[in-house]
Amino acid sequence: MNHPTNHFFHHTPDSLTDWCARHDMPAFRAKQLMEWVYVKGVADPALMTSLSARDRDLLASEMTFISGETVAHQVATDATQKLLVQWDDHISPRAATSLNILGGENCNDASRQTECVMIPSHEEADSGAPKRRTACISSQVGCPVGCKFCASGMGGLDGNLSAGRIVEQAWRLGLLEGVGRISHIVFMGMGEPLANFTNVVHAVRTLTSPWGMGISARKVTISTVGLPKAIERLAEQLDLPVTLALSLHAPTDAIRRRLIPWAEYTTIEELLDACDSWYRKTGREITLEYTLISRVNDRPEHARELAKVAKSLRANVNLIRLNEVKGIHFKRPTDEDVRTFQGILRDRGVNAHIRASRGRDIAAACGQLRHERVTA
């Protein structure tokens, strides 16, 4: 029996202890379960040999450990790995009611699928240090933002992922062959994380807790298209010193509105004010994410305008080459244009990096794998 509302990865030690008590399990059972799942990587009650047979049977029937099914697993030539996970019919009660994804004849499999990616370090880590393993995870099924160059939002939003399902993605990636411990988390998969604020913050607390995945909060990046009030709310979570990445993608409001429908509701000036407030409250610099699109936002004049934006606050810039998507007419910029763009920024004192394109041979960009399977 599947119990989506009683998902192991949604539990905290306190809530799991309460659940165990209600089911006549000993007080120490919750700690044992946390160790089996997070330390030993075991999510099948039948294999939890330190538990009584009665408790193993009860857990198997009353608690969901693995909530989704991996319907595709691809490995790129650069060792990047991507999973396409299909969840059961219960995505988000509020969203599901309005979007008819509770099952039945009208239920589309793609409306229950999300992607997550494991990105290994491009270079070997320092001697004696563990290698960097980054989990790029999704926060929603689909995306409400609808950026014109991104596959994630082509079908709109199907629903929010629960905190448990967000955590489960990172846990799944850590169990892939050759991966080992996940060291970094980026919320740069499908969805707008700050539009699913409560579940994302809950998930981050689990991912960074010693009893959970034990990842440093400073190694967690939350990427947002820019929701000023939500950025301010996130800044108030002072016990979670995460990194904030703003998906800017344009140096002017006019260009940004061509690329990002939600930009109609927020100006760059308003976003910069929210980011400045973030820095003053947290002391942590902003990362500006900028996807370069050939002949749209990659010209020298765009670089000069972006430099003015970046210099107005404590920020560094990640330059991302567009990953072309079937059905979208935008083109990937040339390497020469990307290097010229970066040079202009650096000449003006902006800390600008060109982010390596990883997993291109397995459609590793946001939403690509799901989109390509639907349109195949």
Q: Which residues are catalytic?
A: 115, 366
Contact 85, 104 (CB under 8 A): no
- As a whole number of Å, the end-to-end CA separation of the chain is 33
Q: 278: closest CA among 240, 325, 330, 334?
A: 240
Q: 169: closest CA among 193, 194, 149?
A: 193
The span from the CA of 241 to the CA of 196, in Å, is 19
The span from the CA of 123 to the CA of 191, in Å, is 29
Contact 331, 295 (CB under 8 A): yes
Give the H/E segment covering residue 315: strand 315-321
The span from the CA of 114 to the CA of 137, in Å, is 9
Q: How far is CA 2 from CA 5, 8, 273, in A?
A: 9, 12, 45
Residue 278 half-sphere exposure, CB side, CA atoms within 13 Å?
A: 31
Three-state secondary-structure class, residue 347: helix
Three-state secondary-structure class, residue 66: coil
Q: 339: closest CA among 353, 359, 324, 357?
A: 353
The span from the CA of 36 to the CA of 49, in Å, is 10
According to DSSP, residue 262 is labeled: G
Contact 101, 60 (CB under 8 A): no
Strand partners, 85: 70, 114
The most distant pair of C-alpha atoms in the chain lies apart, rounded to whole Å, by 69
